[in-house]
Amino acid sequence: MKLSVSRAVLQSAFSIVSGVVPQRSPKEILRNVKLTLSDGKATLLGTDEEVGVRYELDGVETDSAGEALLPTQRITAILREVQDEQLRIEITEEALWIRTNQSEFRLSAEDPAQFPNVARFEDQNYYVVGGKVLKQAIQRTLFATDTESTRYALGGLLLELEGTQLTLAATDGRRLSVVKSGCQVQGSVGEEGGRPVVPAKAMSLIERSIHDDDQEVKLAIHPHHILVQSGASTIYSRLVEGRFPKYQDVIPEESRTKIEFVAGPFLSAVRQAMIVTNDESRGVDFTFQNGTLTLTSVGQDVGSSRIEIPISFEGDALKVTFDPRFVQEFLRVLDPAGSVTLSLIDSNSAAVFTTDENYTYVVMPLSN
């Protein structure tokens, strides 16, 4: 087997496919990426048997056919370090050769026969979402998942599909992030796949696979898995077992106080307040009073901070204690010039952050 390929093209593809390759696995073969050549086309496959990706390489020159395993860590290092723009790859029974004008590498060749397959996207019934919209929606919800939770559903994103509306929701039990957007329907989609929970790892892979804002992403929902076609990538993922919480019940219907912020200055103030927090005293007091928000924090054996920013607030003083990490993670995925509305009931009730882009973020205050 021989092929010639652009280093930049292979590196871009490898950065996506290697994202699913496990660092440790009882099956050593899974620590590789599989290369297949057929009819002048090259495909890369990676999987941990829960999530998999198939990537169709562009611009490959070859007249060969066959399969080979590429050791992920070694190939990643080669692609990072070599300077030449073109790579020549040759696979024999004894070795894997990678050559450039200035470099040559000989790696051990392994048998690809036992490598698991990754499904192709051949569905006729699926949803279509704009790449820019889906990428932003994932970025605005993924951080709120709890990948270490024993409640499995919290380790994924809920995809709620109702007609032409797509809702993404994520929660770790202490905060909730919800984004609503539009989608299109192709063919006939059933009701049984309308609320799948997709693992955070798979959703991160989908987000990274979207390179073009105008790109359309196809989602085919099955009872136990999802298939997503995004550009040159096809991503397979098993669905998370368990029932996702009824997130609508967490969002308060009414509030007593609404305050508007500009995201960038608000984020800067929160980051400053975090400087003197630590694991023992990570809470920051947010005090709203007479046109000013004052953020105060005290870190045992660290020090204290006090930051003030002007706000549009008049009324009785209200103090709420938040974990600043939860507020920061929300603000940093927004346009710094964008507007944010904070709705409050009292010091102990759920606080609701909203934007004018169908984005809702709910945070529980820390106990006083």
* pLDDT for res 150: 58
Rounded to an integer, what distance in angstroms lies between the CA atom of residue 87 and that of residue 104? 10
Average pLDDT over residues 170-190: 92
Do 278 and 354 belong to one domain? yes
Domain boundary among 247, 262, 293: 247
Question: pLDDT of 6-54, one tens digit each?
Answer: 999 999 999 999 999 998 878 999 999 999 999 989 999 999 999 999 9
Supply φ then ψ for residue 364, to 5 degrees: -85, 130
Kindly tell me if the per-residue pLDDT of 300 is higher than 90: no
One domain, residues 85 and 171 = no
CATH number for position 87: 3.10.150.10
Identify the domain boundary among 184, 218, 247: 247
Cα angle for residues 17, 217, 7 (degrees, 5° grid): 35
Are 155 and 235 within one domain? yes
Does some domain include residue 132? yes
* Tokens representing residue 28 in the block: 């050593």
Q: Are residues 158 and 184 in the same domain?
A: yes
Structural domain contains residue 113? no
Residue 130: predicted pLDDT: 95
How many domains does the chain contain in total?
3
Is the per-residue pLDDT at 136 higher than 90?
A: yes
- Interval 186-225: pLDDT, tens: 998 865 457 899 999 999 999 999 988 889 999 999 989 9
Q: Are residues 238 and 257 in the same domain?
A: no
Closest of 74, 22, 63, 21 to residue 44, by C-alpha: 21
Read off the pLDDT band of 152 (50, 70, 90): low
Let me know if residue 118 belongs to a domain.
no
In terms of domains, do 222 and 258 share one?
no
* 8 A C-beta contact, residue 35 and residue 29: no
Residue at which a domain ends, from 178, 212, 247: 247
Query: Are residues 161 and 154 in contact, defined by beta-carbon separation less than 8 angstroms?
Result: no
Report the distance separating Cα 203 and Cα 135, nearest Å. Answer: 9
Q: What per-residue confidence (pLDDT) applies to 301?
A: 79
Say whether both 240 and 263 belong to one domain: no
How many alpha carbons fall within 13 Å on the CB side of residue 12? 15
* Bridge partners, 61 (sequence order): 4
Query: What is the residue range of 272's domain?
Result: 252-363
What average pLDDT does the segment 66-87 reach? 94
Which residue would you say has higher pLDDT here, 218 or 151?
A: 218
Taking only the tens place, the pLDDT of each residue in 264-292 is: 999 999 999 999 887 777 899 999 998 99
Same domain, 297 and 319: yes
Report the mean per-residue pLDDT for the chain.
92
What are 236-269's pLDDT values in tens digits? 999 998 888 899 999 998 888 999 999 999 999 9
pLDDT surpassing 50 at residue 122: yes
How far apart CA 44 and CA 315 sit, in angstroms, is: 61
Helix (H, G, I), strand (E, B) or coil at 243: coil
The reply to whether 119 falls in a domain is: no
Residue 115 lies inside a defined structural domain of this protein: no
Please check whether residues 154 and 101 belong to one and the same domain.
Answer: no
In a domain, 116, yes or no: no
Q: Is residue 269 part of a domain?
A: yes
| 238 and 149 co-located in one domain | yes
Q: What is the pLDDT of residue 192?
A: 46
Q: N- to C-terminal Cα distance for the chain?
A: 67
76 close to 263: Cβ distance less than 8 angstroms: no
Mean pLDDT of 283-304: 90
Q: Are 167 and 178 in contact (CB under 8 A)?
A: yes
Residue 335 has pLDDT above 90, yes or no: yes
> 122, exposed or middle or buried, with CB in 10 Å at 0-12, 13-18, 19+?
exposed
The model carries a pTM of 0.92
In sequence order, what are the beta bridge partners of 128? 184, 218
Q: 242 and 260 share a domain?
A: no
CB 209 within 8 Å of CB 233: yes
104 and 16, same domain (yes or no): yes
